Structure 1
Amino acid sequence: MIDVFAVIVPAHNEEDEIKGCLESVMASVSYARHTSAVAHIWVIVVADACTDSTLDLVTDFASRNPIVEVVTVSFNNVGIARNTAAEYFIGQRGIHTQPALDAMWLAFTDADSRVPEHWIASQIRHAELGVDCVVGTVAPRPETGSSELLAKWHAAHELGEDHPFVFGANLGVRGSYFELVDGIPPLPCGEDAALVAAVLDAGGRVLRTDTCRVLTSARLEGRAAGGFSAYLQELA
């Protein structure tokens, strides 16, 4: 049974994207509240080294949505940012015993992404069936890239069950396994794949699924060197 669920969103200079991301997350929260028995759902946005209006936008959004909290850091490192937000959430709520960690779930997406309405409910369902890590799929948002670029991306990615990919914009892990593997590695890129590999090495049950696909920006100028945008640049 999952009692506590946290959505973690790292954001570095995302003033054009963060509101759309959070609105999609809140729609998913609302859906989960009507379709699952999870007691507590929270959203943690970690504003990392922002020099634009991202922090102001998130702070305003949080003032109107009490389940949203803001953490401010200056790492400019997505691995450290994700991990800091997760550790903050665990520490603030005093979740340290094994039963409590087993009943906690951490879900990760990105500030330029849009999660589907059933995203949270889907992760809860998989977790309650015994999965310790959900590795979901991602596709570019059609309105953010050329049809040629999107066609190249889909030609190179066959999205389905047991897919081979890892996307930080669609990832979830049980609290006990997050603690067991010492959290997310402090990497500026590839922290998502490293986390999944660590969970597998620790004996966790990993599900790779296309049942809760997230849509993300097809922008060619990203926020993390070597990330999704860098790959799209190669395709373009």
Structure 2
Amino acid sequence: MIGVVIPAHNEERHITACLTSVLFAAEHPALAGQPVCVVVVLDDCTDQTAQIVAAHGVDGVEVRFQNVGKARATGADHLLAAGAKWLAFTDADTVVPPDWLARQIEFNADAVCGTVEVDSWNDHGDWVRSAYMEHYQFIENHRHIHGANLGLSAEAYRNAGGFQHLTAHEDVHLVADLKRIGAHIVWTATNPVITSARKDYKCRGGFGEYLANLGVSLGLPAVDSQVSGGISV
């Protein structure tokens, strides 16, 4: 069984698009009917996220961590207990491609690190977009790490010790642990996901803050985020 973990904190604006894309990817013919179980870790949600998840027939696990590392780890534990042999991770404000899971599986690797594309630069402008594109590598064998586009075998996840309970960079630490145990990691740009470049990011140290800091470095006004402690983009 393939498991998909999606942490979410008050994501009623984005979760429908995310779930629609993940559920579509779960039906890809290349998976040859392998069962896919999706779980959304509802981390201290006070909006309609839980109701939207339930309406899509997806399992929701309610927690109150406000900690993305712990949320991802909880979702992984839930799926491992259900028998998952492969774990895929994305974020609630992210849309995955139809062959997202199929591409991960066909690499026959211990872990697959994918790239991200931004949905719209309207909130940031051309200067930030140019600065971002100057440093980002949309190529094979890149070295970008995103919790929004990560997959690994259950065995590799267990051997690496799983996600640390960190409020940011939990994905970076997990990949470092995978390297430490000699895991076979594929770095690919062939299965990019599309993620939000929203300014009301939810996590210090996450993708949203990275884009905001790019703007500040270019002399643009600082952004008032709605940081609530730990769900990374």
TM bucket, shorter chain: 0.7 to 0.9
CA contact (8 A) 1:47 1:72 kept: yes
Q: Which amino acid aligns with 2:120?
A: P
Alignment of 1:40 with 2:35, yes or no, is yes
- Counterparts of 2:101 and 2:107 in 1: how far apart (Å)? 10
Deviations 1:12-64 (A, max 9, x none): 11110000100111111122xx12335211111111011111111111222xx
Gaps of 5+ in 1: 63-67, 96-100
Match of 1:114 in 2: 95
The answer as to 2:8 corresponding to 1:11 is yes
CA contact (8 A) 1:141 1:217 kept: yes
Residue 78 (structure 2) pairs with residue 88 (structure 1):
yes
- CA distance in 1 between counterparts of 2:13 and 2:89 reads 19
- Corresponding residue for residue 65 of structure 1: none
Equivalent residues in 2 for 1:62-211, closer than 5 Å: 62=57, 68-91=58-81, 93=82, 95=83, 104-127=85-108, 131-142=109-120, 145-148=123-126, 149-211=128-190
1:21 aligns to 2:27 (yes or no): no
Separation in structure 2 between the aligned mates of residue 172 and residue 26 of structure 1, nearest angstrom = 16
Q: Deviations over 1:205-236 (max 9, x none)?
A: 01111010011001122111110000010122
Alpha-carbon distance in structure 2 between the residues aligned to 1:154 and 1:217? 15
Structure 2 CA distance, aligned partners of 1:150 and 1:234?
A: 12
Q: Which has the higher helix share?
A: 1
- Three-state SS of the structure 2 residue aligned to 1:233 is helix
Relative to the length of structure 1, the TM-score reads 0.86
Question: How far did residue 146 of structure 1 move?
Answer: 4.5
Q: What is the CA distance between 1:143 and its match in structure 2?
A: 6.6
Divergent runs of 4+, >2 A: 36-39, 142-147, 149-152
TM-score (normalised: structure 2): 0.87
Contact 1:5/1:38 (<8 A) preserved: no
Query: 1:175, 1:203 → 2: CA distance?
Result: 15
Q: Sequence identity of aligned pairs in percent?
A: 37
Q: Deviations over 1:97-126 (max 9, x none)?
A: xxxx7xx11000000001011101101101
What is the aligned length?
214
Which whole-Å deviations, capped at 9, do the CAs of 1:48-104 have from their partners, x for residues lacking one? 011111111111222xxxxx211111000000000001101112x2x4xxxxx7xx1
- The aligned runs of 1:220-235 (5 Å cut-off) are 220-235=199-214
In 1: Cα distance, 2:120 partner to 2:201 partner: 17
3-state DSSP of counterpart to 2:10: coil
